[in-house]
Structure 1
């Protein structure tokens, strides 16, 4: 099916954001593992796979619309040096994704591409309700109980494949 070229371009822009998120979550999860913060490792590694799923959905839609997925373009990643900065960088990234997805959804509605809009709505829900909200809660916990107590609570047990 031949899709609107601007929708395809905008989906490729979203794809760059999802690939960037994958990269950022990947390095952060491995840093958490290296520090023995196994609960953070598991959660952020899970986020890596969620972003991979979002990227797959975008790639499939771009292909369906007759476009070529851009697997090269990335926005710069921000690698934190400590737990609070890592969580904040991840939250900032999720906030940007929310803004970008809403913009593309509005454009899709304007050209009556409701299927793409609905695909993006699922991604928006996952980003707002799961990813961003969880990150906000973690930063709130650090403020309430202190960084040392938070990090101790995130140690957990090393996963069997860790």
Structure 2
């Protein structure tokens, strides 16, 4: 089915963001794991995999609309140097995605592509869940400090893999 050019462009922009998020969350997962934040690391790993599923859905939709998915470029990575920076970097990426997906949803609506619009609404709901989690973590980190936050996010020695 031939899709609207603007819709395909927006789907590719979303793919650009999701591919960056996959890699950013994965690097953060490995860093947090190395720093001993094993529980938060597991969450970052799960987020990376979820973003990969988002990218897959976008690729499938682009192909269905007879477009060409661009997997050659991805959003620049924001890599944190400590736990606070990791959370802030991830939150910035989620804010970018939320802004883009709201605009994309409206473009799809105007083009009469309600399936792509629904896809953007579903992605938007996921990103807002990520935003809520990250804002909560940053608020908690601020309230209790990095040392206590680290204790909450570390497995005990006998639980570590």
Output the TM-score relative to the length of structure 1: 0.95
Q: In the aligned structure 1, how far is the partner of 2:66 from the partner of 2:156?
A: 46
Size of the aligned set, in residue pairs, is: 161
Q: In the aligned structure 2, how far is the partner of 1:95 from the partner of 1:159?
A: 37
Q: Is the 8 A contact 1:38 1:157 kept in 2?
A: no
Q: Is the 8 A contact 1:38 1:159 kept in 2?
A: no
Q: Is the 8 A contact 1:90 1:135 kept in 2?
A: yes
1:28 maps to 2:28: yes
Q: Is the 8 A contact 1:39 1:155 kept in 2?
A: yes
RMSD: 1.6
Q: In the aligned structure 1, how far is the partner of 2:119 from the partner of 2:3?
A: 15
1:59 maps to 2:59: yes
Compute the displacement of 1:37 (Å). Answer: 1.1
Give structure 1 stretches of 5+ with no counterpart: none
Q: Is the 8 A contact 1:36 1:158 kept in 2?
A: no
Q: In the aligned structure 1, how far is the partner of 2:158 from the partner of 2:100?
A: 35
Q: In the aligned structure 2, how far is the partner of 1:100 from the partner of 1:158?
A: 42
Give structure 2 stretches of 5+ with no counterpart: none
Compute the displacement of 1:116 (Å). Answer: 0.4
Q: Is the 8 A contact 1:38 1:158 kept in 2?
A: no
The residue matched to 1:146 in structure 2 has which SS?
helix
1:19 paired residue number: 19
2:45 paired residue number: 45
Q: In the aligned structure 1, how far is the partner of 2:138 from the partner of 2:91?
A: 9
1:106 paired residue number: 106
CA shift digits 1:51-82 (9 cap, x unpaired):
00110110010000001110011121110100
